[in-house]
Amino acid sequence: MEIVQHLPSSYSFLETVSLGQGMFIVDLYCYKLENSGVDHHPTTWILDYLTDRPQYVRTQGCMSDRVFCSTGAAQGTVLALFLFIIYTADFSHNSTQCFLQKFSVDSAIVGLISDGDDKEYRELTHNFVDWYQQNYLQINTNKI
């Protein structure tokens, strides 16, 4: 994905990227949880929750068929935010010219482009897109 093709030649720049409806890979979660120091028992519980959990919708006395879900956590839950923080903790950047700011499940790349020198900003953006793809995430381009 070529996000940086629309960058201006010189300005301070803020680019917001939203976590799309990406499939979280259970094995990758297990690895990241363990590397973050989460004990085996909560890790097992979280992974069990993320694997083949039944979901349905109930409204006005009607109930949908059950489907089994193995992707992510329900939007708006504390667990979803915790998992996003753990999942994305291994990518960060902070310098005098650029930094990555995370907001809940959104991220923003902030860069100061002076005298047309956008090398660090473009490199950070490319690395960020590569990291997203390597971690089986999708960038929600509708929010850009």
Q: Looking at the predicted structure, is the pLDDT value of residue 8 above 70? A: no
Q: Looking at the predicted structure, is the pLDDT value of residue 10 above 80? A: no
The amino acid at residue 142 is: N
Confidence bin at 110 (pLDDT 50/70/90): confident
Which residues 6+ apart lie within 8 Å of 90 measured at CB? 32
**Residues 88-97: what's their mean pLDDT?**
86
Q: How many domains does the chain have?
A: 1
Look at residue 48 in the predicted model and tell me its pLDDT: 83
**What is the rounded CA–CA span in Å between residue 7 and residue 5?**
6
Structural domain harbouring 57? 4-143
Look at residue 63 in the predicted model and tell me its pLDDT: 93
CA-to-CA dists, residue 32 to 25, 85, 100, 104, 134, angstroms:
11, 10, 20, 18, 14
> What pTM was estimated for this model as a whole?
0.63
Place of tokens 């010219």: 97
Look at residue 56 in the predicted model and tell me its pLDDT: 85
Structural contact between residues 36 and 86, judged by C-beta atoms closer than 8 angstroms: yes
